[in-house]
Amino acid sequence: MAFVKGRQIMDATLIASEFIDSRMKGGAPGLMCKLDIQKAYDHMNWSFLLNTLTQMGFGSKWMKWIEGVECRLILINSVLDSLPTYVMSLFPIPAKVVKKLDKLRRNFLWKSNKEGKGFNLVNWKNVLLSKDRGGLGIRNLRLQNESLLMKWLWRYTEEDAALWKEVIVAKYGELNPWCTEITSQPYGVGIWRTIRNLWSQMEGNMYIKVGNGNKTKFWKDGWIDQTSLRELFPDLFLICENPDARVSDCSTEHGWDISLRRLLNDWEVERVAALMGKLAGTIITTTTTDKILWKHSKDGVFSVNNAYKRGLQGMTGGPKYNWNYFWKSNILTKVKCFTWGNK
């Protein structure tokens, strides 16, 4: 499936998990078959590689560098942190698994042996901070997992014709064009419920750019100043004829028709005038569709890395210091690591 244009390899995994979940909850008998397909380039034996380099004549000085803390930091970021990424791209990682992985990475960084000997120079929470905030930039697995799962919510807003989205919509139903209904089903082997629970975090970091207005709800979606008209004009929302009207339903050639259920009181006339003032200058274009945009990027496109950085900003950092200047200096990396560990 990964080699089909417009699809990703994890699409099949998501579809399979939801089908199995429905089958198991339905109680109907059935047969499931699993076929393993593996590519040689998916795996690398790091120990074999290092042994090969030794056999090829790489000296003790170079191999000693491999054992240094600065190299271990590189290996953690390039190898150890990448190992669970594939799984975290779709599956929520249990807290106990994160704890075990953190223990492995922590022991590797501080060169603890199998008996657990060795000591940690810096609290692990500080190690996980970005370098500009006093950490080493080692990935926080919980935040990384959430950021990777959020990518599915972003794809949901973008891929209207995707097969995986059709399966999800058929099973859970649509709350709006941007997300599915909130499910009250018990947790099973299905994955989407956990992904859907991240929508509240995702929604606060996005805004709607209206095109033809066919997807955007006039009252309920945040399309004016990234706020919903229901919040800005709650009194008018209470007397509107259709709370779920689309922007395209209320837009006319000559302006706006908000269709209220009754005649207005004197004070409500001023409120309608204020609403029309808010809508002034809004252009509805029939040639483009409504889009969801990410607030924190110049092009409005979501990225896992950007979402991860947003999550890190909610974590407390160490003492204030110009860490960017420190890490970009020409000092040897091992000296930087030693200085950082004794700050």
Asked if 202 and 225 touch (Cβ cutoff 8 Å), the reply is no
Task: Check residue 113 and give its pLDDT.
Answer: 45
Task: Check residue 119 and give its pLDDT.
Answer: 58
- Gap between the terminal Cα atoms of the chain: 50
Q: Based on DSSP, count helices (H) and strands (E) in the chain, helices before strands.
A: 18, 6
Separation between Cα atoms, residue 186 and residue 71, nearest integer Å: 45
Residue 259, Ramachandran bin (φ over 0: left; ψ between -120 and 50: alpha; else beta): left
DSSP classification of residue 217: B
Separation between Cα atoms, residue 342 and residue 250, nearest integer Å: 63
Separation between Cα atoms, residue 145 and residue 139, nearest integer Å: 10
Task: Check residue 28 and give its pLDDT.
Answer: 73
Task: Check residue 4 and give its pLDDT.
Answer: 62
Separation between Cα atoms, residue 210 and residue 223, nearest integer Å: 7
What are 227's strand-pairing partners?
A: 224
Separation between Cα atoms, residue 295 and residue 205, nearest integer Å: 6
In the chain (343 residues long), the average pLDDT of successive 10-residue segments reads: 66 84 77 55 54 71 56 56 74 89 80 54 76 79 93 94 93 90 72 91 90 93 90 95 94 89 91 93 88 92 92 66 68 66 62
Closest CA to 291 of 175, 220, 212, 182: 212
Separation between Cα atoms, residue 81 and residue 299, nearest integer Å: 28
Task: Check residue 105 and give its pLDDT.
Answer: 81
Cβ within 8 Å of residue 53, ≥6 positions away: 62, 63
**pTM score above 0.85:** no
Residue 122, Ramachandran bin (φ over 0: left; ψ between -120 and 50: alpha; else beta): beta
Three-point CA angle 71, 86, 48, nearest 5°: 45
